[in-house]
Amino acid sequence: MKSNLTMVDIREIRDTLMELSPEQEKIFNPIFKRYEDEFKKIGNERLSIILEFEENCASMTDLKAKELAKRSIDVRKERLKLMEKYYNKFSIALDPIVAARFLQLENYINLIVDIQIAEEIPLIKKQ
């Protein structure tokens, strides 16, 4: 049985490894909440793509594969733009080191979640 990273695990990892002082937390948390809200919208689009992929996996057409691939690439671009946007916000509101740590941890967490998702999605079969 696989052990998947839960939202509680993610929050604990972030809280532990960000190493923020109480003063920094007061600044960080509201900005991070806005980041999470925007990230959820991107996550919802990604979920929509995954569900559509699963619906079409057995009978994937070239046109549908092209559409889903483009949307998937666009979602990844949006995620990177969002991380850059909030790196800049944290850099200004706190400092570049805290902002870089945020970026490192988000990248680390996203990679783990991406691997977990990839393990569950079958490869497209040649028609």
What total of structural domains would you count in the chain?
Answer: 1
> Each residue of 59-79: pLDDT tens digit?
889 999 999 999 999 999 999
Angle, CA of 73, 76 and 79, to the nearest 5°: 155
Q: Are 124 and 60 in contact (CB under 8 A)?
A: yes
For residue 126, tell me if it sits in a domain.
Answer: no
Residue at 12 is within a domain: yes
| Residue 127, pLDDT score | 65
Task: Give the sign of the dihedral formed by CA 119, CA 69, CA 86, CA 36.
Answer: negative
Rounded-to-integer distance, Cα 106 and Cα 99, Å: 11
Domain assignment of residue 76, given as a range: 7-120
Q: In angstroms, rounded to a whole number, what is the distance separating the alpha carbons of residues 21 and 86?
A: 19
pTM: 0.85
